[in-house]
A and B are shown apart, each in its own frame.
Chain A
Amino acid sequence: MKKLVGLLATAAAAAAFAATAWSAEVKVGLSSEPTAMDPHYHNIGPNNMLSTAVFDRLVAQDEKQNKKPGLAESWTQLAPNVWEFKLRKGVKWHDGSPFTAADVKFTMERAGNVPNSPSSFKLFTGVLSEVEVVDDHTVRMKTKDAFPLMPDYMSVIIIVSKKHGEGATTNDYNSGKAMIGTGPFKFVEWVKGDRMVYTKNPDYWGPKPEWDKVTVKPVADNAARVAALLAGDVDLIDFPSPSDIPNLKKNANISLAQVQSNRLIYLHYDTNRDKSPFIFDKSGKQLEKNPLKDVNVRKAMSLSINRKAIAERIMEGLAVPSGQLMPPEVLGAVPDLKPDPFDLNRAKKLLKDAGWGDGFKITIHGPNNRYINDEKVTQAVAQMLTRAGIQTDVVTMPSGPFFSKGSALEFSLLLVGWSSGTGEPSDPLRALVSTYNKETGLGATNRGRYSNPALDKTIADSLKAPSREEWVRLSQEATKVAMADYGIIPLYFQVNVWAMRKGLDYVARADEYTQIQDIRSKK
Chain B
Amino acid sequence: MLVFLIRRLSQSLVVLLVMSFLVFVGVFAIGDPVELLVSPDADQFERARVIRDLGLDRPLWEQYGVFLLQSLKGDLGNSFVFNQPALQLILERMPATLELAFAAVIIAIVIGIPLGMVAGLRPHAWYSRMIMSVSILGFSLPTFWVGLMMIMLFAVMLGWLPASGRGETVDLLGVPVSFLSEDGLRHLLLPAINLALFKVSLVIRLTRAGMRENMLMDYVKFAYAKGLSHGRVIFVHVLKNILVPIVTVVGLELGNVIAFAVVTESIFAWPGMGKLLIDSIYRLDRPIVVAYLMITVLMFILINLIVDILYSVLDPRVRIADVKS
Residues of A within 8 A of B (CB): 1, 5, 8-9, 11-13, 15-16, 18-19, 29, 35-36, 41-44, 115-120, 122-123, 170-171, 191-195, 217-221, 223-224, 227-228, 230-233, 369, 398-408, 418-421, 427, 430-431, 437-438, 441-442, 444-445
Contacts and interface: CB of A to CB of B under 8 A. Distances in A.
Contacts of A29: 164, 269
A232 B40 contact: no
A170 B157 CA distance: 43
B284 A400 contact: yes
Given A35-B82, A123-B43, A8 B152 contact: yes
Nearest to B267: A224
B276 interface: yes
5 contacts: A44-B39, A119-B42, A227-B152, A228-B163, A407-B32
B284 A193 contact: no
Given A8-B152, A218-B269, A36 B82 contact: yes
Given A119-B50, A400-B284, A431-B41, A228 B152 contact: no
Contact of B275 (A193, A418, A444): A193
Contacts of A418: 40
Nearest to A445: B40
Contacts of B281: 400
Interface of B: 30-33, 35-47, 49-50, 53-54, 78, 80-84, 89, 92-93, 96, 145, 148, 151-152, 155-159, 162-166, 266-269, 271-272, 275-276, 279, 281-284
Contacts of B268: 224
Nearest to B157: A12
Contacts of A123: 39, 41-43, 46
A419 B40 CA distance: 9
A403 B35 contact: yes
Mostly, the A contact residues are mixed
Contacts of A233: 155, 162-165
Give the interface centre of A8, A194, A445 by most chain B CB atoms within 10 Å: A194
A219 B164 contact: yes
Contact of B157 (A15, A42, A218): A15
B158 A224 contact: no
Contacts of A13: 156
Contact of A230 (B156, B283, B284): B156
B163 A195 contact: no
A230 B152 CA distance: 9
B282 A399 contact: yes
Nearest to B43: A441
Nearest to A426: B41
Given A122-B46, A398-B282, A191 B157 contact: no
B159 A19 contact: yes
Contact of A407 (B35, B80, B284): B35
A403 B46 CA distance: 17
Given A224-B164, A438-B44, A444-B44, A231 B36 contact: no
